[in-house]
Amino acid sequence: MKNRANPNILKVKPYVPGKPIEEVKREFKLKSVIKLASNENPYGPSSKVLRAIATAGRSVNRYPDGGCYELRRELAKRLDVKPEQMVFGCGSDEVIVLALRAFVREGDEVVMAKPSFLVYSIASAAAGARLVEVPLRGLCYDLPAMKAAVTPKTKIVFIGNPDNPSGQYSTKAEVAAFLDGFPSDVLVFFDEAYFEYVRAEDYPDTLALLKSRRNIVVARTFSKLYGLAGLRIGYGVADVEVADLLNRAREPFNVTSVAQAAALAALKDRSYYKKILDETCRQREVVCTGLQKLGLECSRGATNFIQVRTSQDSSALAQALLKKGVIVRDMAVWGLKNYIRVSIGTPSENKRFLKALGEVI
Ligand SMILES: *Cc1c(COP(=O)(O)O)cnc(C)c1O
């Protein structure tokens, strides 16, 4: 059947996820394994969210509300945007796909950084786009070069901010310079999956940019801080016209009722998620300090994960950590040969990671 397949699909390199805990337990005959490889919230949902999930579970015989009415109203209020400016997705991954579906035709160009979030390239390739990949400078976006890469064929520029895997963010001034004189008919997609973790003053307020620009999408997710990765729910905020186009591109029931209920409950349980956020930021410091004590460089970053620069082969290092029951991400896959990416876990997980790392380097 391969010869009958859409050639764009044949070009897609399948996504390689972090190894599942159970697989590592089996493979290395380990009793206890920790996963610091997928930037998940290690604490899980709050009891209020769990209750909302249980309640919503009683009605799963019904189709969900395709318009995410309650969640949309609640979020729009909090973000100070109109409900019609929003689009919900099966994870923010789907919002990326919707933008491509709504705007990109065969042969159009899509600009992104290299390395960057793999979903940009996978979904763009599947959409038949020509990928224009602009190398990072160090670990940071080269926004001037990305702007220079825009041609009349460009439909979307993807800006992960902060990006994954780099963990770095583009500043307010950098983004302002990028948008200055930028074509008003090219979509700028700000992927802010980790925005809650940014503590820096010079991080851009992209929702404010939406007040004067119609070519911006801001995507966010419940998968990271809110710990709902397994339920798959994210959203995009855009100009009403763009949001309408993205909504036309989605399946009618793309977000489950359980996910909607959980997201709404999570938004309302502010104190629980604030505690998690504060603890994660504190633990990020603990891990970075621990790494420095081991003589390793780490990006302090703006996310719930960090990049660790090692002097040895990162693939061998990641493998050695696996044998000790610690799953991290080898960055060689992204072309960052001497880096491993480590998600910030619970205090005891972080301690175990630092101990294991000290033993294998
Ligand atoms: C995790 C992540 C997302 C969110 O993915 P979901 O589909 O919402 O789970 C989006 N962008 C980046 C850069 C990410 O790392």
The tens digit of pLDDT for each residue in 28-56 reads 999 999 999 999 999 999 999 999 999 99
Mutation probe of ligand 1 site: the residue of 40, 93, 197 with most atoms within 8 A of C-beta: 93
- Kindly report the pTM of this predicted structure: 0.96
pLDDT over threshold 80, residue 18: no
DSSP 318: H
Could you tell me if the CB of 174 is within 6 A of ligand 1? no
Structure confidence at residue 19 (pLDDT)? 83
pLDDT of residue 105: 96
One-letter identity of residue 261: A
Structure confidence at residue 251 (pLDDT):
96
Spatial distance between the Cα atoms of 41 and 343, rounded to a whole number of angstroms: 9
126-181 residue pLDDT tens: 999 999 999 999 999 999 999 999 999 999 999 999 999 999 999 999 999 999 99
Q: What is the rounded distance in angstroms from the CA atom of residue 70 to the CA atom of residue 146?
A: 38
Ligand 1 center–CA 221 separation, angstroms: 7
Closest residue to atom 13 of ligand 1, CA basis: 164
Q: What is the atom index within ligand 1 of the atom nearest the CA of 94?
A: 7
pLDDT tens string 274-316: 999 999 999 999 999 999 999 998 877 799 999 999 988 999 9
Res. 75: pLDDT tops 80: yes
Look at residue 17 and tell me whether its pLDDT is greater than 90. no
**For ligand 1, is residue 299 a contact (CB within 6 Å)?**
no
Q: Where are the domains of the chain?
A: 16-45+271-360, 47-268
Q: What is the pLDDT of residues 223-245, one digit of tens each?
A: 999 999 999 999 999 999 999 99
CATH architecture observed for domain 16-45+271-360 = Alpha-Beta Complex (3.90)
- Give the Å distance between the CA of 117 and the centre of ligand 1: 8
Ligand 1 atom 15 nearest Cα = 164
Reported confidence tier of residue 15, pLDDT bands at 50, 70, 90: confident
Confidence band for 337, pLDDT divided at 50, 70 and 90: confident
pLDDT (0 to 100) of residue 352: 98
Q: Whose CA is nearest to atom 2 of ligand 1?
A: 193
In ligand 1, the atom with minimum distance to the C-alpha of 162 is: 13
Q: Is 247 in the pocket of ligand 1 (CB under 6 A)?
A: no
The DSSP code for 33 is: -
pLDDT at 212 over 80: yes
Determine whether the shortest distance from the Cβ of 197 to ligand 1 is under 6 A: no
End-to-end CA distance of the chain: 47
CB of 117 sitting under 6 A from ligand 1: yes
Shortest-distance Cα residue to atom 12 of ligand 1: 193
Mean pLDDT over all residues of the chain?
A: 96
Q: Which residue CA neighbors atom 11 of ligand 1 most closely? A: 193
| Cβ 175 vs Cβ 50: under 8 Å | no
Residue 91: CB within 6 Å of ligand 1? yes
Query: Over the stretch 97-112, which tens digit does the pLDDT of each residue have?
Result: 999 999 999 999 999 9
Atom of ligand 1 nearest to the CA of 224: 1
CA of 356 to the centre of ligand 1 (A): 28
pLDDT of residue 333: 86
**344 pLDDT above the threshold of 90:** yes
Asked whether the domain spanning 47-268 has the same topology as the one spanning 16-45+271-360, the reply is no
Quick one: which atom of ligand 1 is closest to the CA of 39? 1
Residue 76 confidence (pLDDT) above 90: yes
Dist. CA 191 → ligand 1 center (Å)? 8
The CATH number corresponding to 47-268 among 3.10.180.10, 3.40.640.10, 3.40.50.620, 3.40.50.261 equals 3.40.640.10
The pLDDT assigned to 311 comes to 87
d(CA 345, CA 18): 15
Residue 67 vs residues 177, 219, 262, 270, 273: alpha-carbon distances, Å: 36, 17, 16, 24, 25
Whether residue 164 has its Cβ less than 6 Å from ligand 1: yes
User: Ligand 1 within 6 A of 229 CB?
Assistant: yes
Ligand 1 within 6 A of CB of 167: no
Q: What is the DSSP letter of 178?
A: H
Average pLDDT of the residues in 326-337: 92
Question: How far is 87 from 70, CA to CA, in rounded Å?
Answer: 13
Q: What pLDDT was estimated at residue 297?
A: 86
Measured between alpha carbons, how far is 238 from 218 in angstroms, rounded to an integer? 6
